[in-house]
Structure 1
């Protein structure tokens, strides 16, 4: 690899970390952890459906099944999500957003839009990969 490759990678990782740090702060300011927000986002946005299975969420969050179950437990206690038996396979568990979860997700997602637009513009411009 050449110096410019390391610069491009360093710049990308810096912007990614800055986005994630800002996201963590936005979530905390709105009463959720970043992981709780990520769970809500994956339920709402990871498929054409408005719900997800525990297995799908584990994959999307890149986490272990039992860790996702514990996260769902916490979100369920907060009134953000509910579990339902699978429609096609009763062994599967569907995780659905409740109105409080929808509202929290919408609020936090909206707060992310300005930074998302900045990143989209930055990384779609010719030459984005050249470190400044």
Structure 2
């Protein structure tokens, strides 16, 4: 216990309240997420994309019709703006994304998927949804086991 931490502080009570079954559930939940991520990375590679390219085109598609900016993409991917810009450069070079002037604000550039990206993403998304359907019972069981 820290010298300036009162005995029985909230954090100590929370730590003391964690049961072995909670650790087991957290470990299994994390393992299940890692298995899904490993599946996702392999599926992206099998589809001819890097995992980061897959994440990017999925984020762009999921953003909707208004178009996604590089800043929006950086936020979704949890990367810095310049890293997202470099990724977009590679996506443009691979003919997966185009940059368009925004209809609402001519100063704003939005990212749009090409038909090639749409086709690859549709196949990957179908495989991911099927994997999630298989994993759903275990995830629900793990979530329900938490206090």
- TM class by smaller structure: 0.7 to 0.9
**Aligned mates of 1:104, 1:56 — CA distance in 2:** 22
Structure 2 equivalent of residue 23 of structure 1:
40
Name stretches of at least 5 consecutive residues in structure 1 with no aligned partner: none
CA shift for structure 1 position 121? 2.6
Tell me whether 1:14 sits opposite 2:31 in the alignment.
yes
Name stretches of at least 5 consecutive residues in structure 2 with no aligned partner: 1-17
Question: Bigger CA drift: 48-57 or 69-78?
Answer: 48-57
Q: Deviations over 1:79-112 (max 9, x none)?
A: 1110012222233220000100101111111121
SS of residue matched to 2:145: coil
Q: Deviations over 1:52-71 (max 9, x none)?
A: 11111111111111101111
Structure 2 equivalent of residue 74 of structure 1:
90
Q: How many residues align?
A: 129
Tell me whether 1:3 sits opposite 2:15 in the alignment.
no
Q: Deviations over 1:11-54 (max 9, x none)?
A: 111011110011111111111011101111011113x3263111
Structure 2 equivalent of residue 33 of structure 1:
50
**1:44 and 1:50 in contact (8 A); partners too:** no
Structure 2 equivalent of residue 124 of structure 1:
140
Tell me whether 1:108 sits opposite 2:124 in the alignment.
yes
Q: TM-score when scaled to structure 2?
A: 0.79
RMSD across aligned positions (CA)? 1.9
Question: Bigger CA drift: 116-125 or 6-15?
Answer: 116-125
